[in-house]
Structure 1
Amino acid sequence: MKRRLLGIAVALAAVICGLAVHLGAADTAASDIAGDALYVVAVWGGLVALFPRASSWLIGAIVVAWSVGVELFQLTGLPVAWAGEWPPIVLVFGTVFDARDLLVYAVTGLVLAVTDAAVRRAVGWRRAGVSAAA
C-alpha cells in the first residue's frame, strides 16, 4: 500500500511541477528538458500506483517504451493536429518530434529505475510486493 501511495504522490507532484513549467517557464531548451523529465516521472508514478508489485526495471522499461512511442507518434502529425482542436492534448502527446527528447526519456527512466530499486532494497520492499512490515 505504501508503494501505491508513493506512486500517486510522485505522479501528482510531477504533474503539478510539469504544469508550472509548461505554463510559467520561458520556452527554452532547459524548460523543454525539464518538461520531458517530469513527463517520464509522472508516467512512472502512475505505473507504480497501478502496479505496485511490478519490478523497478519492468516499470522503468515500460515508462521509456511509452515515452519513446509517444515521441515517435508525433512523426505522424496527429498530435499537432489534435492540439489545434483541443490544446490540453499537448500535455499528453506533445506536438512535434525532437530527437533530444529520446535521450531525456532514456536517462530519466534509467535514473528512476535505479533509484526505485535502491529505495526498495533499502526499505526492505520485496520485488514481488511490499513485505508485511511495510
Structure 2
Amino acid sequence: MRARAVAAGAAAATVLAGLGVRAFMDGDLAKYAGDALYTVLICALAAVIAPGARPVVTAGAGLTFSWVVELLQLTGVPAELSRHSTVARLVLGSTFNAPDLLWYAVGAGFAWAVTALATSPASPGSAPRTSASRRPRRHGR
C-alpha cells in the first residue's frame, strides 16, 4: 500500500512540475521538458497500477506507451480526436515530432533512476542487509 501511495504522490508532483514548466518557461526548453515529464507521469502511473514492479519495468512501460502515442500521431487519429476533446489533446497530442522520442527516453531514464535509487537496499528507511539475508537458501532441508 505504501508503494502505491508514493507512486501516486510522484504522479501528483510530476503534474505540478509540468504546470510549473508551462507557467515559467517557454520555447523548446519548455516543450521538451514537458515531453520528459509526460513520460515520468506515465511511469508513475504504471507504478500506481503495479506497485511491486521493478523500476526497469515501470520505466519500460512508460517509454513504450509514450512512443506508441507519438507514433500513433503519424496516422492523424490523435489530431482528429484532439480537435474534439481537451483530454485527448493532453494525452494523445496531435502532431508527430521525432525529437519527442528522445525526450521520452530521457523521462523514462529519469523515472528509472529515481525509482531504482529510492527502492535500492541502501536507501534510507530500508532494512540493512545482514549476512544471513545474503546467504543463498537451501531447499529441502
Query: Does the TM-score normalized on the shorter chain lie above 0.5?
Result: yes
In the other structure, the counterpart of 2:86 is 87
Q: Which amino acid aligns with 1:8?
A: A
Distance in 1 between the 2:31 and 2:93 partners? 11
Percent sequence identity is 32
Output the aligned Cα RMSD.
1.8
1:95 Cα deviation (Å)?
1.0
Number of residue pairs aligned between Structure 1 and Structure 2: 124
Q: Tell me whether 29-38 or 110-119 shows the greater mean CA deviation.
A: 110-119
1:112 aligns with 2:105: no
In structure 1, C-alpha distance between the alignment counterparts of 2:97 and 2:49, rounded to whole Å: 29
Q: Distance in 1 between matches of 2:117 and 2:16?
A: 25
- C-alpha spacing 1:58/1:77, structure 2 compared with 1 (3 Å): same
1:25 Cα shift?
A: 5.4
Deviations 1:55-101 (A, max 9, x none): 11111111111100010011111111111111332110011011111
Q: Cα offset for 1:30?
A: 0.9
Q: Give matches, 1:1-134, under 5 Å.
A: 1-22=1-22, 24=23, 28-121=27-120, 122-123=122-123, 124=126
Change (3 A) 1:51 1:18: same
Structure 1 window deviating more from structure 2 (64-73 vs 83-92): it is 83-92
Q: Secondary structure at the match of 2:102?
A: helix
Letter of the aligned partner of 2:12 in structure 1?
L
| Consecutive unaligned residues in structure 1, runs of 5 or more | 126-134
| Structure 1 residue 119 displacement after superposition | 1.6
Question: Could you tell me the TM-score, scaled by structure 1's length?
Answer: 0.82
How far off is 1:2 after superposition? 2.1
Scaled by the length of structure 2, the TM-score of the pair is 0.79
CA distance in 1, matches of 2:76, 2:39: 22
Structure 2: runs of 5 or more not aligned: 128-141
Residue-by-residue CA offset, 1:92-118 (whole Å, 9 max, x unaligned): 001101111100111221222122112
DSSP 3-state at the match of 1:54? coil
